[in-house]
Amino acid sequence: IQQPNVIDQDIFAAALENVRKKKPNSFYDDICFQRLPEERAIQVLHIGSYDSEPASFEKMDELASSLGLERCDQVHREIYLSNKNRTPEEKLKTILRYSVR
């Protein structure tokens, strides 16, 4: 998830260490802080069931087409903003994103 420019490796490491102490979890070893190369992308905040994501992708495709852009490939990213075990399905929030050219 994108972070403000003021966040650096030291701040990230300190925050992660605080979380490790409060709620230990082996998955923390898989978390990293890195700068990704900038690219043109289209994204949308999808609200609702994961099963209804195709409708959001259709809207993204329509926007890309109207702007004269095309998808770079079929790969996309999903950033889950809600806990599916605690959030009603109709209120799940997911950022859907794909690269365009």
Domain boundaries, the chain: 1-35, 39-101
Q: What is the reported pTM?
A: 0.72
pLDDT (0 to 100) of residue 42: 96
pLDDT (0 to 100) of residue 2: 79
pLDDT (0 to 100) of residue 20: 95
Give the C-alpha separation, 10 to 79, whole Å.
Answer: 24
pLDDT (0 to 100) of residue 71: 95
Question: Taking the alpha carbons of 74, 75, 77, 83 in that order, is the dihedral positive or negative?
Answer: positive
In 23-84, alpha helices (H): 53-66
Tens of pLDDT, residue by residue over 31-87, are 999 988 888 999 999 999 999 999 999 999 999 999 999 999 989 999 999 999 999
Beta bridge partners, 100, equal: 71
pLDDT (0 to 100) of residue 56: 98
Q: What CATH number does domain 39-101 carry, 3.40.50.2000, 3.20.80.10, 3.20.20.140, 3.40.50.2300?
A: 3.20.80.10
Q: Work out the pLDDT band at 19, boundaries 50, 70, 90.
A: very high
pLDDT (0 to 100) of residue 3: 87
